[in-house]
Structure 1
Amino acid sequence: MTTPELPYSDLTPDSVMDAVESLGFQCDARILALNSYENRVYQVGIEDEQPVIAKFYRPNRWSRATIAEEHAFLLQLAEEDVPVVAPLQHQGDTLFNANGYHFALFPRRGGHAPELSREHDLELIGRWLARIHQVGARQPFQHRHTIQPAADLSQAAQQVLASGLMPEDYRDAYQSTMQTLAQQLPEQLPWNTLRLHGDLHSGNLLLRDQALFFVDFDDCLQGPAIQDIWMLLSGQRDEQQAQIRTIAEGYEVFRPFPSEELVSIEVLRTLRIARYAAWLSQRWSDPAFPSAFPWFTGHAFWSQHLLALREQQASLFDEPLQRF
């Protein structure tokens, strides 16, 4: 039986094939587990057809309503010819249930992560990202998370401390650092929210033969447009400044670039750093996590994590990147 400690204990190759075949496909018994910690994702071979991707959502993480919003957003984007990988429909639905698991099927898309150091790739991403945000701004999510920096930072700290996984000699310093960060967060932020990808790092972009695909909207949420932009940046400040300008050139083909939100990048970076440790803390009872992240409970990780948080204390007051 599935439990929080063993969330996928009932998911076997046979049950995966049974789930796929319940939607009218004939499996050829070829199943390849794909890299995914949060959910379980498989490439499933289909007789005389292209394989499909079967995604089994982590039990008790998302409600049916939140997953339905993810799928509705993807279908809207696909209708606008935005290059996303939308779920396959069966009898008008995209979300199904098998043995207590919510699951969905997607077409297979191949490719590699784009070179974010190449201006052409960045400008292409900027153009399509503006199209995603055009659609995302039409209506808000009703069930998915909305970024709220103070509340999100507080929740992350609570989850880390409640887990008991942090070495005790870091606990006081961590609490003090998180309290200081909370006090430093701006009370008002210059943004309007819209539906976003939410986790747009290079691993969630696929490029093949000049065709770009945005994949894995599992963490889509309501937030500022800059959330889908800042994670594309890398390197030193001058490099990031140049990248912003290139992304903006593509973005402004379809939508005004949110220059006023650039001041919020370090706030959003702080949240990501804090929430990463909270995510691992929340998932530690799943045996896949200690196996994949054995360093998480060691002093080296927490020393580096605390250092990163303290560096953010200073970064919150840095001069923001500029559009021009």
Structure 2
Amino acid sequence: MARGARRGAGQVAEPGIYRGDGERRPGAWDRMPPPPPWREFHGGPGEMFPHTDSNLPAGGRRAHTYRPTPEAVDAVNAALILRRPLLVTGRPGTGKSTLAHHIAYELDLGPVLTWPITSRSTLTDGLYRYDAIGRLHDANMAGARPDIGRYVRLGPLGTALLPWARPRALLIDEFDKSDIDLPNDLLHVFEEGQFEIPQLARLPDDQREVAVMTDDRRRAVVVDGSVRCAAFPVVVVTSNGERSLPPAFLRRCIQLVLPEPSIDQLRMIVTAHLGRGADEQDDVLDQFVHRRGAGDTLATDQLLNAVFLAMSQRGTTDDRRRLTQHLLRSLEDYG
């Protein structure tokens, strides 16, 4: 979505759409425009998940310390309006994962569901897990077949696809670490917004409704073994760009490349996290920017650690310099 369209016509900046300013807006999603006809889903009945205050402080801190670029705000709004996954690519430390928490906090979507990807991750891992061995063991011990719902737990993607009255936010983290087949396996789920649990679909008619555990330890009722969303979840997929993804997957996503923060953005991030005293540590910031410009792979977390310790240390200037050099080692040196 063009930056001019957001600033000129104002469609994207209307209340209820992501602004990127870190201000929480309860009920913002309820004012979202309707989805395109090809992205309408009709799962149900919907159920409202509670917003527990215990989950808000961490999300609130991330929201107040994160600084999205105008391009990031535009891409998020495009993904929200089109009900498409947002694929965020960038080097470590550019804020890819934090963006998902920032969106969820601003739009009051509750705690973020997280699916960390490894080379062994499969689609089924994200959708649900069925403990057949545990059920068989309990059946042998009790002499009767226990409730199957006790042995089905939805994964983070499966939980996000429940028919919530308001969509959940899902972070699929470090997607480029996945097996080569996972991007293609996800295509049908992303297009249809639904999946089936075969173990529940085969149950007799008197067991059409089964209460299962969700990824965040709630209980949800699955009917006829089918899970279908009422509105497509807010999906943020992160990638370090270490390998190419299939074109069929890419065209189903809104793509965003996050650049490394500029020195002014880094100064804002450090001050937001550590307070006004942090702006006196320009020597640490200059060293970080110099090392990064020389080709070292550095993350913003390393800068925050170095500034925090520089503010805490009472040793000599040489002591602080050595400690800063140690903390600002290139990530490639640890490979």
Q: Which has the higher contact order (CA 8 A, sep 6+)?
A: 2
TM over 0.5: no
How does the TM-score come out when normalised to structure 2? 0.32
How does the TM-score come out when normalised to structure 1? 0.32
